[in-house]
A and B are shown apart, each in its own frame.
Chain A
């Protein structure tokens, strides 16, 4: 079964840090570009970050201002998001998603996790 399972969410104080994890199973993680997408309560989807299969290419949303770092461990089939200097605006459900990619073209984010909730509050 194609599966992504996020973990690491929780309650954190403003200015704090959190590391999210995403465990992949059932597909070739090593050859997959991966993404983080978030959704604030009652709001729309926001793309957060992307990392290529060999970590050669990494991109972030402009709104993050250098506070987040995406990484992966292909040996462990895992994706990570290190989040620092968290503020109330980072409160959201965070999803990891695979971007189906081939021959220089993306074919959509076709596998999604169930999400992990991050709440930033004092």
Chain B
């Protein structure tokens, strides 16, 4: 199975800061990677698919980049409502695999 290594596991930043989360695949997965946001007690929500395509309705401060093995999720200007755990998921090959998650807090 493809392993997804996400970092950092947690971070704390101030409102307005630029935040970057990385995800590394154990083998090349083209651009078959999605990012999900999960707020406490809620179901996950799709933010980004195909590494860089913004899901409809998602604020433009979220962006994704990368291909092959290295991917990045960026929050351009952190907002209080962005407090959540973020997960990457490779849907290149079965079994699909998630990263371990990154918990984002606001200072």
Tell me whether A44 and B100 are in contact (CB under 8 A).
yes
Q: What is the size, in residues, of chain B's interface with A at 8 Å between Cβ atoms?
A: 26
Give every chain A residue within 8 A of B89 (Cβ-Cβ).
45, 47, 109
How many A-B residue contacts, CB cutoff 8 Å?
65
B32 touches A106 (CB 8 A): yes
Contact A109 B94 (CB under 8 A): no
**Residue numbers in B under 8 Å from A35 (CB-CB):** 96
- Which of A60, A108, A110, A114 contacts B95, CB < 8 Å? A60
Q: How far is the CB of B49 from chain A (nearest CB, A)?
A: 3
Residues of B near A109 (CB, < 8 A) are 34, 36, 44, 46, 89
| Main SS at interface, chain A | strand
Q: Nearest chain B CB to A104's CB is how many angstroms away?
A: 11
Pick the residue among B32, B36, B49, B95 that contacts A62 (CB under 8 A). B95
User: Is the CB–CB distance between A45 and B95 below 8 Å?
Assistant: no
Whether, in the assembled complex, A81 has its beta carbon less than 8 Å from a beta carbon of chain B, the answer is no
**Shortest distance between the CB of B88 and any CB in chain A (Å):** 10
For this complex, 17 residue pairs linking A to B, each with C-beta atoms less than 8 Å apart, are A37-B44, A44-B98, A44-B99, A44-B100, A44-B101, A47-B98, A50-B94, A59-B96, A62-B95, A99-B91, A106-B32, A107-B53, A108-B49, A108-B91, A112-B43, A112-B45, A115-B43
Q: What is the interface of chain A, defined by CB distance below 8 A to chain B?
A: 35, 37, 44-47, 50, 59-62, 95, 97, 99-100, 105-110, 112-115
